[in-house]
Structures are given as structure tokens and as C-alpha cells.
Amino acid sequence: MSHPDDMNDSLSQLLLDQAERLFAEHAPRQVLEAADAGTPPEALWTALEEAGFPLALVPEEQGGAGLEVADGMRLVRLAAYHAAPVPLAETMLAAWLWSRAGGDPPDGEITLAPARPGQRAGIAGGILEGTADGVPWGARARHCLVFAQDASGNPCLALVGAQQRSARPGGRNIAFEPRDRLQFDRVQLAATALRPAPLLDSDGFLPLGAILRSQQMVGAMQRCLDHALGYAGERVQFGRPIAKFQAIQHMLAVAAGHLAAATAVADMAIDAMTAGETANGDLALAAAIAKARTGEAAGEVAAICHQVHGAMGFTQEHPLHYATRRLWSWRDEFGSEPFWQERIGRRVCAAGGEALWPMLAGA
Amino acid sequence: MQGFRFDPLRLPPEAAATRQRIRAYLSSEREAGRFAANRSWDSFDPDFSRRLGPAGFIGMTWPKRYGGQERSALERFVVTEELLASGAPCGAHWVADRQSGPQILKHGSERARQEILPRIAAGECYFGIGMSEPDSGSDLAAVRTRAVPADEGWRINGSKIWTSNAHRAHYLIALVRTEPPGEDRHAGLTQFVIDLSAPGLTIRPIRNMAGHHEFNEVFFEDHLVADDMRIGPPGKGWQMVLGELAFERAGPERFMSDYRLLVEAIDRAGPSPDARQAVEIGRLVSHAAGLRRMVTSIAGLIEQGEVPGVEAALMKDVGTTFEREVPEVVRRIAPAEPSLDDPADRYVDALARVTLQAPSYTLRGGTREILRGMIARGLGLR
């Protein structure tokens, strides 16, 4: 029986163990609190760079670690499990895309713009023009990878430095992660800073961004459930741990079902990413399915885990909110559930009912 | 958190080949007008099964000497999902192929294997499930039907209920008490293969709410069963039944019972759906895609010889929740008055059938509440 993970199990386990230690040391409670209050976690980012994680997906000959996409996405899940308040996922994806476009990825945080449906940037004669809202760490990131189309609609990537863009900082999602407005005002690009975009179509970063957020939601849901299982085992009411009550058991069983289903579609999206350029249509579909299903699961899991925690989970003191506020933010970023559901629905309806099964079975 | 095992699985090339074979077979059946679309595994069409068996699609994983094909569990998996996706009337042989045959192969006597398995594989021998009793549903260990040693076998008295197809199946596998209940209530139970044509049995129909005769009550009055129709060691029936239930719960029929209604709803919405229709259909498809991946992964565990009890329970809970949602969602986006009286309108017909069948999805094979208890145990809560 074929098992795609067998080959890399030991390597990826080493890496994940290393990452686990790194997050435990550099993303403790105080760092999350400070980030919420506006102090960026410099030491955490430095440690991540020293470990080579931001460039993990970049081939070794381009200065990266040459990690498999699947292992990189496990790292993204783990960072989200720890609520690491840094643009690691965005940087990993941006660096991967830029290296696939033939560029050498720079050091420092790299963000992605535009990040919202309906927003576009244009390119003509090497000059970039456009506006993007809600850009993750848009003001702070050292570079921004911009998706733009030229006059003929060809997808391009532009690597824009901090000095070349004007930012209106101060925007945040409800997890207090920076989401800034960026303006690209007739930015003159060097020849090496503009390249044809691999993997992307007119949707730009939306599908891959949706896949990233799906992985992150899986990590954060796992954390929520761990919190809830732990709390249910400790909290005693009516003389026994609330974990012993059937009502609580059934709520957590439902949450575990959502997490398992979300993990399945997030895994599917990783497979589609791994399959790469040959399967562009499948990548868009896999991204849509992943974001639609994980986003729905995120709402359900967050609600259940809060209910299990009672008033304690509603406090600033209890760490549950670091996971749940991220779930409520991420499910709406890079396209909400209805956005992706409608995409899936239109595609399925256009193909007709009998075409659904070959699509689901992938054969 | 204790993780559940839903490892990614890529189906092997032979499964792809089998998929092409079963698809070709099913289109030839359809083209010959041999089955009406939009049936599922709750149908009962012996003619369909009698053709499917000789074509090599029943008992596929069993040894050739018992009529099998010695194919992998993943090839069988592909056949089951293609049957469901096509709306084939695959119900007659379903239980025998899914759980009774494998149970006999693994734990039955040589005589039982030789007498029964080749007939199942030929598509001419069908099984019912003898678990529930009037006072023992979810609490299965409370069964009271009793077998006592008699000359060369056992004498059984008691009754089973909700036995689907008992009036048209050939056998059932019954879980009965062979020792008085002691401190360990799971001890002292034994499974037997019951020949439904033998004396000492009375089968009483129980019509379901749609007026259909699918399930029955089966009364045992001094029914004699030979010792070589015993499944597994005496007193070890609970372990046997858990293995059987894992297979019963692990398949694609736990999210695809009403798959054809989804297909009809998509066609009813048409190629240019409105936004609401597209959103709701897209949502259902995103659920189906996740479930399909989960059930494929469970098929991989079965192929490795594992008994994925908790994973199967979780998949069945999530899958049957989805099945229950399908009719509720499609009726809102493609309004119609459900009716069984106009089979030509395939959407309305499917909506009516599913609406009347849907309550059973979260009951049969273990209620949602029992499954959630199993999942909670898997999470370490019990």
C-alpha cells in the first residue's frame, strides 16, 4: 500500500520536534500578550530565521531548506497551534512562489498582496499600481510579494521593498494580528523584481492563501480541543469532572468530528499543492473545498470549546482566546466560506450532477 | 490530544483498474435498462445481485476456493463507492458482502465457509443482522435470546427485532447469550449463523413509516443450530460483534445513502444556479469531499488488517450527519413537494424516498449517541 508520508517521516518529525521546542521557548504567554499590545516578537522571528523556517520550502540551491510542501504545511499548523504572532505562513508561501518564479528570496518577513477577493494590482512597463486592504503584517514586513496582471492579463509577481510602498498601519483582525492597507503608487520595479507568476491564475493569491489559512485553522482547532479536553478533565462540578457528563462528551465528540473532516480537506489541499503546476484547476478546487470546510469547522469547534470552558474561557486570563480569535479571523480571510462555497457550487452545477462523482473520486 | 488515524491514502493502480471495470459494468447495466437510477443499499433487487456476483464484484477479497477473487480491500472499497454513486440497486447482497461473509471467513467453521461463501459471492445468498432485541437496542450486551447446548449443537429461544430483509434473506448472524450474565456483562455471548429456512423460526413483518416491509421481528422457538454454525469461540461473541460493527460502520454507505438526491438537486438547480443554490451545493460538496477522504483512509486501515472501531464510529457520525442534512438543504434551494407517485420526476421521487428514509441513517448500525460515546472514549473522556 502506498503511503506518501513514509519517506519523510523521520525528517519531518525531527523538524517538528525542533519547531515545537522553538515555539515553546520563544512564543510563550508573555510574547503573545506583548504582540496583542503591539510589540512585535523580534526574538521569535530571529529564532525562526536562524532555524531556516521562513525559507523552508525554498530549494537548497536558492538558499532554502528544500522541504517538501507537506512538511512545510505541518510547520504552518504547528505555528498556528502555538498562535505564533508572526507572518511565518505568509513568508513561507511568498518565498516558495518567488523561488519557483526564479527569484532568490530575501531575508525578513515577506507578505502577500492583494489578500482579499476583488482587489487587483496592475503592471505596465515595469510600473506597479494598485491598492490592497487587510494585508497581513503589510506595514511591518520587509518585503511584499504583489500579484499583478499586465495589460494582456498575464499573471506576474513583483517583489516590493518597504520603501517602495506606502502603508496605512494600525488595522488588525480580532486576533490583533496586523492587517494593513498598502498602496503601490507607480512603483518602478527593477528587472529582477518582476517575474511571470508560477501556479497562479487571475485569482492571484486567493487559493494558496486559502490553503494556508486552512492549515492554520487545523492547528488552532487542535489547540482549542486540547484546551477543552484538559479543562473538562480538571473542572469538577456536582462532584465529578465535567468530562464525565454525557452532554460534554457528545459536544467534544462533535468537535472532534469537525476537526477530522477539516484535517482531511486540508490534507487534500496539500496534495494538490504538491501535484503542482500540472494540476492548476484541481488546485483551485482543492483550495475552495479546504477553506469552505475548515472555515465552517472553525466556527463550530470554537463555539463548542468555549461552551465547555464556561465563563473561564471567556476571560483574558485563560489562553483559549488566542486560538479562537484566530479561528474567527482566519475563516474570513482569503475568502470566507460562502465565497468559496459559491465557487464550488457554480463549478459543480455547470458540470452537471453526473460529473460530481468523478470529481470527488479524482478519477 | 489523542489523534485519530485518518492517514492520507493514495489508491493503488489495481484499484483504478477495478474502478474502470465496475464503471463499464454499471454503464452496460444502465444502458440495457436493467436498473432504474437513484436506488441505494436499502434496495432489494436479487436479479441485480445475481448478475453482479458472476461479474466478480461480490466477495472480492475472499480466497478463490470460497468463490472470491483475492482482491485487495481497496479494490472492494472502490466497487462499493461506485455502486452507491451510480444509484445501483445493490442492497440485496450488501450485508452479506460487507460483514457476514467476512465474519464467517475469519471466525466461522470450514463447513460454513464452504457452504455459504461461494453462494454469497455468486450473488444468490443474502444475510440479515441479528443483533437488536425488543429490550436491547443501543444496549446490545443486554440481549436475552438464549442458546443452550443440545445434541450436536445448540437450542435457541428468544427473539430479534429490526431485522432487515429477514423475510427474503437466507441467513442471519445472531448474537445470543450462551452463559448467564455475570459480573462482566460482555462475557458469555456467542454468535451463530442462523438458517432462516430451518424450523423453529417465525418471521413477523414490521412495516416502516413509509408502509414498506423491510424489517422484521424474528422469533426463535427451540430453534436448533449445529455447532459448526457458531462464529468464534463460545462466550466470545462480544469481541466478534465489535469487529463486525467496525466493518458495518466503516464504508462509504455511511455518507452516500442519499448521494443520488444530491446529484438530482444539482441538475434541478441547473448549470446557472443562483447564488444561494451555488453556496449551499458548494457547502455540501465540501463536506462530501472531506468524508470521501476519511472513508478512503479507513479503507486503508482495513487493508492493513486493522479494526478501526473509533475511526469508523467518527466517520459514521460525521457522515450520517451529512446524509441527514442533504434533504433538508436541497428542499430549501430547489423547492418541490415530495411525492412517491411520479417516478418520472427523478428529483421529486428521490426527495420523497430520502425524506422517508433519513431518520434511519442516524439509527441503523449504531445510533449517533452511541457513536459519540465511542468517540468520547477515544478522546480519553470515558
The B residues from 200 to 229 touching A (CB cutoff 8 Å) are none
- Most B CBs within 10 Å: which of A71, A211, A342, A354, as the mutation test of the B interface? A342
Please judge whether A222 and B1 are an interchain contact, meaning their C-beta atoms are less than 8 angstroms apart. Answer: yes
**C-beta atoms of B375 and A264 within 8 A:** no
Selecting from A268, A341, A349 the residue whose C-beta is nearest the C-beta of B271 gives A349
pLDDT at B377 over 70: yes
pLDDT category, B37, cuts 50, 70, 90? Answer: confident
What is Dmax (Cα atoms) for chain A? 74
Query: How close B240 gets to chain A, by Cα (Å)?
Result: 25
Q: Locate B78 and state its grid cell.
A: 472502490
Cβ-defined contact of B74 to A288 (cutoff 8 Å): no
- Inform me whether the C-beta atom of residue B365 falls under 8 Å from chain A C-beta atoms: no
Residue B321: how many CA atoms within 13 Å on its side-chain side? 17
- Average pLDDT estimate for B348-362: 97
Q: Determine, for residues A356 and B265 on separate chains, whether the beta-carbon distance falls below 8 Å.
A: no
Which of A254, A261, A343 shows the shortest C-beta gap to B282? Answer: A343
Residue of B nearest to A249 (CA): B376
Q: How far apart are CA B173 and CA B244, in angstroms?
A: 10
- Kindly tell me the burial class for residue A275, based on how many C-beta atoms sit within 10 Å of its own C-beta (0-12, 13-18, 19 or more): middle
- Which residues in chain B are closer than 8 Å to A288, comparing Cβ atoms? 282, 286
Give pLDDT, residue A281.
62
* Shortest CA gap A183–chain B (Å): 32
pLDDT in tens, B304-348: 988 888 999 999 999 999 999 999 999 999 999 999 999 999 999
CA-based end-to-end distance of chain B? 14
Q: Mean pLDDT, to the nearest integer, of B83-105?
A: 97
Rounded-to-integer distance, Cα A347 and Cα A336, Å: 17
Rg (chain A; Cα; Å): 21
User: If you count residue pairs, one on A and one on B, with CB atoms under 8 Å apart, how many are there?
Assistant: 187
SS3 state at B150 = strand
A151 reaches B (C-beta below 8 A): no
% chain B with pLDDT above 70? 99
Among A69, A235, A265, the residue to mutate for chain B (most B Cβ within 10 A): A265
Distance from CA of B83 to the nearest CA of A (A): 11
* Nearest by CB: A349 against B269, B291, B318: B269
Q: Which residues of B touch A292 (CB under 8 A)?
A: 282-283, 286
Is residue B16 less than 8 Å (CB to CB) from chain A?
A: yes
Question: In whole angstroms, what is the distance from residue A186 CA to residue A126 CA?
Answer: 9
> Hey, is the C-beta of A77 within 8 angstroms of any chain B C-beta?
no
Query: Which chain A residues are within 8 Å of B16, Cβ to Cβ?
Result: 363
Q: Worst-scoring range by mean pLDDT, A4-8, A64-68, B36-40, B44-48?
A: A4-8
Q: Which of A300, A346, A354 to mutate to test the interface with B (most CBs of B within 10 A)?
A: A346
Cell 464525565 belongs to A244
Asked if the C-beta of A107 comes within 8 angstroms of chain B's C-beta atoms, the answer is no
Q: Are B382 and A241 in contact (CB under 8 A)?
A: no
pLDDT of B53 strictly over 80? yes
pLDDT at B119 over 80: yes
Q: Is B160 in contact with B147 (CB distance < 8 Å)?
A: no
Question: Are A70 and A5 a contacting pair, CB within 8 Å?
Answer: yes
Cβ separation of B290 and A264 shorter than 8 Å?
A: yes
Chain B contact for A352, CB < 8 A? yes
d(CA B229, CA B100): 12
Handedness of CA A75, A275, B77, B69 (dihedral sign): negative
Contact assignment for A250 to B373 by CB distance below 8 Å: yes
Residues of B in contact with A231 (CB under 8 A): none
Upstream peptide bond of B134 is cis (omega within 30 degrees of 0): no
User: Which residue in B has a C-alpha nearest to residue A296's C-alpha?
Assistant: B283
Instruction: Find out whether B135 and B142 touch, Cβ atoms under 8 Å.
Output: yes
Predicted TM-score (pTM) above 0.90: yes
Chain B CB contacts of A233 below 8 Å:
380-381
Tell me how far apart the alpha carbons of residues A273 and B206 are, in angstroms, rounded to a whole number: 52
Q: What is the pLDDT of residue A280?
A: 54
B286 closest CB neighbour out of A243, A267, A293: A293
Q: What is the DSSP string of B218-257?
A: EEEEEEEEEGGGEESSTTBHHHHHHHHHHHHHSSTHHHHT
**Chain B closest CA to A85's CA: distance in Å?**
23
Distances (CA, A) of B279 to A341, A347, B168, B326: 5, 11, 43, 14
Among A5, A246, A296, whose Cβ lies nearest the Cβ of B8?
A: A5
Per-residue model confidence as pLDDT tens digits over B135-167: 999 999 999 999 999 988 999 999 999 999 999
Calculated CA dihedral for residues B236, B238, B241, B242, nearest 10 degrees: -120
Residue B299 in contact with residue B71, Cβ under 8 Å? no
Query: Does the structure show a pLDDT above 90 at B191?
Result: yes
Q: Is B65 on the interface with A (CB under 8 A)?
A: no
Half-sphere exposure of A25 (CA within 13 A, CB side): 12
Half-sphere exposure of B353 (CA within 13 A, CB side): 24
A353 and B9 within 8 Å at the Cβ level: the answer is: no
Best mutation target, B61, B83, B279, B314, to test chain A (most A CBs within 10 A) = B279
Contact A341 B280 (CB under 8 A): yes
pLDDT at A7: 46
**Nearest-neighbour CA in chain A from B77: distance (Å):** 12
DSSP A136-157: ETTTT-SEEEEEEE-TT--EEE
Strand partners, B203: B218
Q: Which residue has the cell 521569535?
A: A44
C-beta of residue B112 within 8 angstroms of C-beta of residue B125: no
Closest CA relative to residue A112, chosen from A140, A129, A86, A93: A93
Residues of B in contact with A1 (CB under 8 A): 9, 12, 74, 300, 303-304
CA distance B321 to chain A (A): 10
Between these two residues, B276 and A13, which has the higher pLDDT value?
A: B276
Q: How far is CA A35 from the centre of its chain?
A: 18
Identity of the residue in B7, B86, B279 whose CB atom sits nearest the CB atom of A341 = B279
- Partners of B7 on chain A (C-beta within 8 Å) are 3, 5
Contacts of A338 in chain B (CB under 8 A): 279
Q: What span, in angstroms and rounded, lies between the C-alpha atoms of B191 and B108?
A: 10
Q: Identify whether the C-beta of residue A347 lies closer than 8 Å to the C-beta of residue B277.
A: no
CB contact under 8 A, A229 and B379: yes
Strands B171-177 and A179-188: what pairing?
unpaired
Residue B8 has pLDDT above 90, yes or no: no
User: For each of chain A's 363 residues, which pLDDT tens digit applies?
Assistant: 333 444 456 677 888 999 999 999 999 999 999 999 999 999 999 999 999 999 999 999 999 999 999 999 999 999 999 999 999 999 999 999 999 999 999 999 999 999 999 999 999 999 999 999 999 999 999 999 999 999 999 999 999 999 999 999 889 999 999 999 999 999 999 999 999 998 899 999 999 999 999 999 999 999 999 999 999 999 999 999 999 999 999 999 999 999 999 999 999 999 999 886 444 568 999 999 999 999 999 999 999 999 999 999 999 999 999 999 999 999 999 999 999 999 999 999 999 999 999 999 988
